[in-house]
Amino acid sequence: MRRLIAGNWKMNGLISSQAEIEALKGLTGGATCDIVVCPPFTLIDRAVEAVKGSNLVIGAQDCHAQSSGAHTGEISAEMLADLGVRYVILGHSERRVLNGEDDEIVMGKALAAHRAGLISIVCVGETRHERDEARALEVVGEQLRGSVPEGATSRHLVIAYEPVWAIGTGLVPTSEQIEEVHAAIRQMLKERLGDDGHLVKILYGGSVKASNAAVIFGLRNVDGALVGGASLKASEFAGIISAAV
Ligand code: PEP
């Protein structure tokens, strides 16, 4: 399967950060994987212009479930599609925890993204406490069942397994732990989507860097990565991308 490497800039980046996108274009011209950069909303318009004619595409970090209306401060999937956005990250653990987003909300957003023609990157993952209680598979299964809408297909859906305790901490699960969860996700996708479940990309996310990417990409059912901190510097992100091809 063609790998997908997505960078989540979170609430980072000013107009001057455009230089990182320009640099990334220069560093990844020959890459044979799909590369997505998800800057904050404020930079999306410029970023879409900047990547024209390159192999980079632009994603967003969230969208609203409604297409328009009285939702002050929100951004709809249709607005993102209108700008030329192709992907949207949904249900990131920071939004689940800090913005109180539950599975039902994430599913509503995934439906909206699908309606607008965007590809959803739906994030799932257990907390440290849940892993310590040996509940990682149960929690991820519940999130997946609750967040992935009926009728989802591999053309509109990517799953990112992001253990909450590995995000931004420098901690990475063992290879066995990653393979165990990714295999369980693959199995659930096959049960939900039939044969098409084989084609849904499953990304790993959580402290991926250029130095550990090759090992992670070598694991079964790992089809790419969702990268936070290491996506902010073009040279580091390019190092991860080169490990994927
Ligand atoms: C993320 O926020 O999705 C993430 C994986 O962050 P980091 O790579 O910094 O751990």
Q: What is the mean pLDDT of each run of 10 residues along the chain (245 residues)?
A: 97 96 93 96 98 96 98 98 98 97 98 98 98 98 96 96 98 98 98 96 98 98 98 97 92
Report pLDDT digits (tens) over 190-241: 999 999 999 999 999 999 999 999 999 999 999 999 999 999 999 999 999 9
Decide if 126 is catalytic. Answer: no
Decide if 162 is catalytic. Answer: yes
> What is the separation of C-alpha 57 from the centre of its chain, rounded to a whole number of angstroms?
13
Q: How many domains does the chain have?
A: 1
Classify the complex by whether its ipTM is higher than 0.90, answering yes or no: yes
Question: Residue 245's pLDDT is what?
Answer: 77
Q: What is the number of other CB atoms lying within 10 angstroms of the CB of residue 244?
A: 22
CB-ligand 1 contact for 125 (6 Å cutoff) = no
Nearest protein CA to atom 7 of ligand 1, as residue: 228
Question: Residue 114's pLDDT is what?
Answer: 97
Whether the Cβ atoms of residue 57 and residue 87 lie closer than 8 Å to each other: yes
Compute the chain's Rg from CA coordinates.
17
Residue 180's CATH number: 3.20.20.70
Residue 141 annotated as binding site: no
CB-ligand 1 contact for 124 (6 Å cutoff) = no
CB-ligand 1 contact for 160 (6 Å cutoff) = no
Domain that holds residue 46: 4-244
Question: Residue 204's pLDDT is what?
Answer: 98
